Structure 1
Amino acid sequence: MDLSEITRRAVRVHGLYDDLNLAKHGRTWARHDFVLGFVGDVGDLAKLTQAADGVRPAPPGGRDLGHELADCLWSVVVIAALYDVDLEAAFTTTMRQLEKSITTDLERGAAR
């Protein structure tokens, strides 16, 4: 599955959540609500990685690392869509910049 298909599915699930939240709570989530949800997902991910590394007991609920990573990916993709960010272009540009910066730092360090 490529990023465009991931984005389509994530946005479709976002629409289902809108329907569910409207039915249950009379409102849909605002963009900032998705960011707060993402923060919660990152917290859950942190707990699971700590459990996987033996630093803390596994949290209750039976979610696994793959599930939380998928939740985080979903959140990032939906937030990008909500804020009209071309995630593929932003990722490509950012990785190019990081590769250049890291390579430059390595070359400087090797020249010492």
Structure 2
Amino acid sequence: MNLEELVNRSEAIRSAYHQLELKQDGHAWTIEQDTLAFQSDAGLVSRLVMADQGSWPTDVKEPTLDYKIAECIWWLSSIATASDVNLEEALEHFMSEREQQLK
């Protein structure tokens, strides 16, 4: 999947979730709520990595690390879109800057 497809599919999924939130809460989540949900999932990535390394005891098989990493990428794409950040441009700028700094 390329980055443009990621952004487009992320938008469609986020839009569908907004419809569920309207039914459940009477309003779509705000970007602040989206960010809190992302932080929660990012924390789960940390726990799953710790579990993989034997530093966190768990018998839970779901969610898997790859699933939660993908979910975090989806959240970041959704947050970027809601913030009018062009994800491709932001990534290109970041990567180029880091490459230059590390030469």
TM-score (norm 2): 0.95
Whether the 8 Å CA contact 1:44–1:68 is kept in 2: the answer is yes
- Aligned equivalent of 1:70: 70
Task: Summarize the alignment of residues 1-112 of structure 1 with structure 2, pairs less than 5 Å apart.
Answer: 1-58=1-58, 60=60, 62-103=62-103
RMSD: 1.2
Please report how far the alpha carbon of residue 58 of structure 1 lies from its aligned counterpart in structure 2 after TM superposition.
2.7
Runs of 4+ residues over 6 Å off in structure 1: none
Percent identical across equivalent pairs? Answer: 29
- 2:19 and 2:3 mapped to 1: Cα distance? 24
Equivalent residue letter for 1:31: I
8 Å contact kept, 1:47–1:59: no
The aligned length equals: 103
Q: Which has the higher contact order (CA 8 A, sep 6+)?
A: 2
What are structure 1's unaligned runs of at least 5 residues? 104-112
The higher radius of gyration belongs to: 1
What's the offset of the Cα at 1:60?
A: 3.6
TM-score norm. by structure 1 comes to 0.87
- Tell me the equivalent position of 1:109: none
